[in-house]
Chain A
Amino acid sequence: MIKLAALVQNETLKLWLKKRFIVIVLILLILIPVFTYAEHKVVSNHAEHFADWRNQILQQIADMENTLSSDRIPEEWKRDRRIAVQQLQYYLDHDINPSEPSGVQFTREFLGNSITLFIPMLVLAIGTDIVSGERTSGTIKMLLTRPVKRWKVLLSKLCALTLYVSLTIAVTVILCYLISGFVFGYGGWSAPILTGFKIEGSAIDSSSVHAVPQWRFLLMQAGLCWFSAMTVAALGLMVSVLIRSTAASLVTMMSAIIAGTILSSMSSSWASAKYLFSVNLKLTGYLEGTPPPIEGMTLPFSLSVLAIWGALGLIVSFRVFTKGDILN
């Protein structure tokens, strides 16, 4: 046990010394102000054109209804818009502003938008070379010739990775809040957000819709982000064990994830694509009530698919790492 803790400490410090985490923080420090500025532009543009948020939502609804009446719009888009219209109408009927600008609201949107690509990318930036890097540089020999069981070595790497995944998401949330709050204000923790929209075809079942305070919504979102990031980390670990070259494993993982986002936007016609992990990464969409990429997907479904993929990834990595010929 003590030995494992020492191993985890060793791996964590090794990752720290690679300075990847610092790079991630720097990336966030550059990107978040850019997005904050963009959002600020949007907000001030709306403030100029609309007397208050109700007018803005009304206009949004009317605009969407106009696109619905066009014959050129594909049926899937119409379905998504019909759902969006019903949601906006629900917010309006209950007199709740869905996007009162605040630091918390910005953070919430940022997390929702970064869960499919940005956060997986950050996780891969930390994790892809965690095993393959040692093989490239040859340090794996030193590691494995010491009197430590191989599974413990890999487990310590997994633990270190987990710690950094948590840290990455936490830092993303904190930096988002601090930077955007400077522009939009640091309030908004208790603003009500509706969740629990159930989507059936192109209609919304609002029987289980309920309002939660925004802090709770954000926490739930962050938890879901963590879950999908951990799936990506587990699969990244597997690829890192299987593929010797770091560049190749990074490309493999990134293309798998990007393929998922492309498939999500093409959607529906290929129903069994819903069993691919990368199509299921957008867990936060279920909280917000955006229609899933493929009909019939639900939050429990996506959680299970991701859990199974993650577990398989870990099983393969441990098997290959302990039994396979790693040293060459």
Chain B
Amino acid sequence: MSRSRVLWGWIAASSILATVVLAAGLGLVFKDLLAAPAAADRKPEANVSPSPSAEQASSLADMKEIRIVALGDSLTKGTGDPSGKGYVQHVADGLKKKYGKRVQVLNNLAVNGMQASELIERLSHDSGYQYAVKQANLILFTIGGNDLFLSARARMAQKDWKTLEADGLAQGIEEALERFRRIADTINRLNPSAKVVYMGLYNPFYDLDNLRRASISMQEWNTGAYAAIHPYPNMLMIPTFDLFEGRIGEYLSSDHFHPNREGYERIAGRMLESLD
């Protein structure tokens, strides 16, 4: 009898204690609900300052490790590559092989459908984006394809072949280039020491007769983009238009817009050739 009394004592004491504590927790919830305090705006202390970006290495060969951050649209995302690697991962693999040192893709922040205006918005206001850009010593980016080809792609998706016109492409190009200049400037301000690689545009519609002339507007864009990054010696533009012109069937994926695995491998190959 006394053993069960002791047992009862233990159970009672501990469970009553537990009940009281849990009820207190519930009480805290009510207190929190009622007295929802005005947003305690805890601003980040001395804004995020990544440690290792200070090194002034001019070539990748001199860097201790390579930290890649990729920005931009679906081309950087790797859309169309069934292996999911895209050119970013191929470049990372290639660099690892070439230099035999640690290569890390810190972030691939590309979002399908991103336009130049969105990228500039993120770069200038999103502290996370800025943090990533500051950390990197190799930045890969693509932008502009959606600004130029959005209307053409929408019509293609609807199989609206007749209204496909190359003339519409040229219209927005000047404003888009202006945004591109701001992007290049912002990246440079955030991280002046990193190597920056921009992938030039290609015309995915080269094989369609009424869109073949789009290549001309695209070249206009490429020229403007080259002029925009030219003032920064650490920035590099990789042309891709020639890769695809004769081999659209081989290098484009089934959506007739994005490269396939081989296409991405070729793009990455070009970047690897030009990076030192």
Residues of A within 8 A of B (CB): 9, 12-13, 16, 50-51, 54-55, 57-59, 61-62, 65-66, 69-70, 89, 92-96, 162-164, 166-167, 169-170, 192, 195-196, 206-212, 216, 219-227, 287, 299-300
Instruction: Write out, one digit per residue, whether chain B residues 88-119 have a CB within 8 A of any chain A CB (1) or not (0).
Output: 00000000000000001011111111000000
**Alpha-carbon distance A287/B23, docked complex (angstroms):** 16
Instruction: Write out, one digit per residue, whether chain B residues 151-193 have a CB within 8 A of any chain A CB (1) or not (0).
Output: 0000000000000000000000000000000000000000000
**Alpha-carbon distance A54/B7, docked complex (angstroms):** 50
Contact between A220 and B25, CB atoms less than 8 A apart? yes
Known: A13-B4, A55-B106, A299-B33. A166 touches B42 (CB 8 A): no
**Which residues of chain B (121-171) have a CB below 8 Å from chain A?**
126-129, 131-132, 135
B105 (CB) vs chain A CBs: closest residue: A49
Known: A208-B36, A216-B28. A58 touches B107 (CB 8 A): yes
A166 CB contact (under 8 Å) in B22, B48, B106, B112: B22
Among A50, A164, A220, the most chain B Cβ lie within 10 Å of the Cβ of A220
Which residues in B have their C-beta under 8 angstroms from that of A57?
A: 128
**Alpha-carbon distance A196/B31, docked complex (angstroms):** 12
Given A163-B15, A163-B19, 18 more pairs with CB closer than 8 A: A13-B4, A51-B67, A58-B131, A59-B109, A66-B110, A69-B111, A89-B126, A89-B128, A92-B127, A164-B15, A166-B19, A170-B15, A195-B32, A210-B40, A222-B25, A223-B27, A223-B28, A299-B33
Which residues in B have their C-beta under 8 angstroms from that of A54?
A: 48, 128, 131-132
Known: A89-B128, A96-B42, A220-B25. A59 touches B15 (CB 8 A): no
Contact between B32 and A206, CB atoms less than 8 A apart? no
B27 (CB) vs chain A CBs: closest residue: A223
**Which residues of chain B (1-39) have a CB below 8 Å from chain A?**
4, 7-8, 11-12, 14-16, 18-19, 21-29, 32-33, 36-39
B32 CB contact (under 8 Å) in A69, A96, A163, A212: A212
B41 (CB) vs chain A CBs: closest residue: A94
Contact between B42 and A94, CB atoms less than 8 A apart? yes
Known: A65-B111, A223-B23. A163 touches B12 (CB 8 A): yes
**Alpha-carbon distance A65/B112, docked complex (angstroms):** 8
Chain A interface mostly = helix
A62 CB contact (under 8 Å) in B22, B38, B40, B108: B108
Which residues in A have their C-beta under 8 angstroms from that of B45?
A: 95
B25 (CB) vs chain A CBs: closest residue: A223
Contact between B39 and A208, CB atoms less than 8 A apart? yes
Contact between B106 and A211, CB atoms less than 8 A apart? no
Q: Nearest 5 A-B pairs (CB), nearest first? A: A223-B25, A95-B44, A223-B26, A170-B18, A163-B15
Which residues in B have their C-beta under 8 angstroms from that of A212?
A: 32
Which residues in B have their C-beta under 8 angstroms from that of A61?
A: 128
26 contacts between A and B (CB under 8 A): A9-B8, A50-B106, A51-B67, A54-B128, A55-B135, A57-B128, A58-B107, A58-B131, A62-B110, A65-B111, A66-B77, A70-B112, A93-B128, A95-B42, A95-B45, A96-B42, A166-B18, A167-B15, A209-B39, A219-B24, A220-B25, A224-B26, A226-B25, A287-B29, A299-B33, A300-B33
